[in-house]
Chains A and B, each alone.
Chain A
Amino acid sequence: MAIASDRPRIYESSRVPSPIPTVLQVPEELRGSEDLLQVNFGPNHPSTHGVLRLIVDLHGENVVGLEAVIGYLHTGFEKNMEQKTWWKAITYPERIDYLSFQNNELVFVLAIEKLLGLEVPEKATWMRTCLCELNRIHSHLVWLGTAALELGAISMFWYCFRERDSVLDLYEMVCGARMHTRYFQAGGLAEDIPRGFFPEARKFVDWMPKAVDDYERLVDQNEIWLERTKGLGLLSAEDAIALGQSGPVLRGSGVDWDLRRAQPYLAYEQLDFRVPTYPNGDVWDRYKVHMDEMRESTRIVAQCLDRLEGMEGQPWIADDRKVVLPPREELHTSMESLIHHFKIVTEGYRVPEGEVYVALESARGELGCYVVSDGGPKPWRVKFRAPSFVALEATATCMTDALVADLIAIVGSLDTVMGEVDR
C-alpha cells in the first residue's frame, strides 16, 4: 500500500510524556503564546465514546497539550456491590462495562467460585466460553461501527449493528435479556440451554466470517480510511508495556500477550485459536487486531457448539444447596429445599474468608476482579481492574505530534468504555 509513506513509522524506545505520563504538557516555548487555543472536547461531544472530556491545547492544527477529565459516569458500582449479598451483586458487574457485559459478569462469578472452591459442571464451562466469545464479537462490532462512524464511514455502522443484533438475539433467547443477563450464577448457569439455540448460533457462525470480509471490503482499500488510520496514534511495544496496556491496544503494538492463552481459564486450554498481533502500533493495526479477533472468536464459538451439542441432558449448575437455588419444583414438595431457598434469598450464602484476584481477557484486555470476603454474606471489598481505564492512560503518548482531526481516530482506536473507566 503506497499510502502515507511519509508518515512516521513506529518509533523505538519510549516517548511517554513526563513528569505526568497521562498528561501532555504544552512545550515550554509555546506557553503563554497567543496562538494557543484551549478547547474542551466533550463531555457531550458525539464522537467521544460516551462522556469523556478532553482539554486540548491547540497550536494551529497541532495538538500540543492534552488532559483527560473523567468521572462523569461514576456510579460507585464497587461500593454498591459491597452493600449487596453475593447473589445480588452478580447483577452489578455487567453494568460496569456495558459492551463486554458477559465477561464482566464472568470475572465476578469466577471470583466467588474461587473463594467457595466450587466445582462447575463441564456444560456450564463450555457455555460460558461460548457466550463470552459471542460477547467479544458484540463488543468489537460496536467498537468498529462507532469508530468508523466517527471517521465518517456511516455505512459501516449499519452493517456492524446488523450482526450485533443477531448476537443480541441469541442472548435474548438463552438468557432472557439482550444485555445484562445475569445468566452466569455461582456454580454454573441460571437455566439450561434451549434446543433452538444451536441451529440459530450455527447460522450466525456461518455468516459471521462473511460479514467480517464485507467490513474489510468496505474500508480496507478506501483512501480516506487509510489516510485516517495509518501511521497515527503510535504506541511502541515498550511504551505499551510501560503503560500497562492490554488487549487489542497491546497486540496492535506487536506484543503477543493474551490471557486466554497465557493463563487459560474456562475451556480455553482445549480450544484451537490464534492470537493476532500487528507490529506497527497505529490506529490501523488496532483495527486489524479487532477484525482478526472477530474471526477467531467465531471459530471458538463453533468449537464450543460442537462440544455443547454432545452434552444434552447434562447438569448446567453445580448441586450445592448452600449456594445454588434449589430447582423450582422442589419448592412445592420439599421443606428442606424451601429453607435453603429462603436462606439464599434473604440472608445470602456465606463465602469463606479470604481474598482473590481473578483476571481474564475481556474484549478490551485484562479485566481483573479483586474480592475480599470477611466470611459474611456480603463482599467486604470489590475492586475491578478496568482495561478501558488503563487504555485511556495511553492517550497522551499516542497523541504526541497528532493533529486535531486525528484526535478522534486515535481516542476511538483505544476502545474505551466510559462506564468502565468511571465505574
Chain B
Amino acid sequence: MARGNPIDSVKGFGVTFKQIFKKPITQQYPEYKRPVYPRFRGRHRLHVHENGLEKCVGCSLCAAACPADCIRVVAAENTADNRVSAGERYARIYEINMSRCIFCGYCELACPFDAITLGNEYEISEYSRDDLIYTKDMLLAEPIKKVPVADRDLYDTPIPYYQEHS
C-alpha cells in the first residue's frame, strides 16, 4: 500500500507547537469564576417590597406557565394580624423542584408582579435530590454563593423594571 509522506504527518504538530506561545484559555475554576452574562438564567429568587412585604401574591401563574411542572404554590388569605404580602393573598407554600427545572425562565415571564426572577447563580448542585426542592425561605434568602456578572449596560438591553427594583 502506498504510504503518505511521513514529513507531512509531522506537519500537524506545528499547530500544537504554536500553541506553546499562546496564552492558555483554561480558566482555573473554582478559584477563578468567569463573569456570567447578565441575561444568564440561574437560581431563582423571590423578592420583597421595600416595606418588607412579599411581592408574591400566590396567584400560581408561574406554576401554570412552567413547562416542567416544577413549581408548587399553595395560597392563603392575608389577615390583619398576619400580613405577608401586599395583595389579598400570599403564598403559604412556594416550592420549586430544581431537579426538574429546565431554567427556561417562563416563570419569570409569567409573574405579573415581578415576584420571581431567575438570578445568575449557577453553583446549585447538591448531594441529594431532596435538597434540590427549594422552599420559600430558601428562595427569599440572599444566595450564599454569588457570581460576578458582566457589564449590564453592554450585554443586556435596557433593564426591565423588575430587575432594577428587586
| Contacts from A to B (Cβ < 8 Å) | 1-6, 84, 87-89, 91-92, 155, 159, 162, 169, 172-177, 180, 182, 191-197, 214, 217-224, 226, 325, 328-329, 331-332, 338, 341-342, 345-346
Main secondary structure of the interface of B (DSSP, over half): loop
Q: Which residue of A lies closest to B18 (CB)?
A: A214
Let me know if A176 and B106 touch, CB within 8 A.
no
Residues on B with C-beta less than 8 A from A331 are 112
With A174-B39, A176-B40, A194-B154: A223-B4 Cβ-Cβ less than 8 Å: yes
Asked if B76 is an interface residue, CB under 8 A from chain A, the answer is: no
Inter-chain contact A217/B14, CB cutoff 8 Å: yes
A173 touching B12 by the CB < 8 A rule? no
A271 to chain B, nearest CB (A): 26
The listed residue (A5, A88, A332) touching B1 by CB distance below 8 A is A5
CB distance from A156 to the nearest CB of B (A): 10
Contact assessment for A325 and B15 in the assembled complex, using a CB-CB cutoff below 8 Å: no
Chain A residues whose CB sits within 8 angstroms of the CB of B20 once the complex forms: none
Mask of B50-72 contacts with A, CB within 8 angstroms, 1/0? 00000000000100110100000
Instruction: Please give, as numbers and ranges, the residues of chain A lying within 8 Å of B5 by CB-CB distance.
Output: 221
Contact (Cβ within 8 A) B37 A224: no
- 13 example contacts (A-B, Cβ-Cβ < 8 A) are as follows A2-B2, A172-B40, A176-B40, A177-B41, A182-B104, A191-B39, A194-B156, A196-B151, A214-B15, A223-B4, A224-B9, A342-B61, A346-B64
Check: B110 CB closer than 8 A to any chain A CB. yes
Q: Is B21 an interface residue (CB 8 A)?
A: no
Most B CB contacts (10 A, CB to CB) among A84, A155, A176, A197 go to A176
Size of B's binding interface in residues, CB under 8 A: 42
- Selected interface stretch from B77-85, B92-100, B135-143, B157-165: B157-165
A84 surroundings in chain B (CB, below 8 A): 67
B2 adjacent to A3 (CB under 8 Å): yes
Residues of B within 8 Å of A346, CB to CB, are 61, 64-65
Which single residue of chain A is at the shortest CB-CB distance from B11? Answer: A221
Known: A177-B40, A226-B4. A341 touches B112 (CB 8 A): yes
| B2 surroundings in chain A (CB, below 8 A) | 2-6
Given A196-B151, A218-B12, A328–B162 Cβ distance below 8 Å? Answer: yes
Contact between chains at B1 and A1 (CB < 8 Å): no
- The answer for the CA separation of A65 and B150 in the assembled complex, in Å, is 55
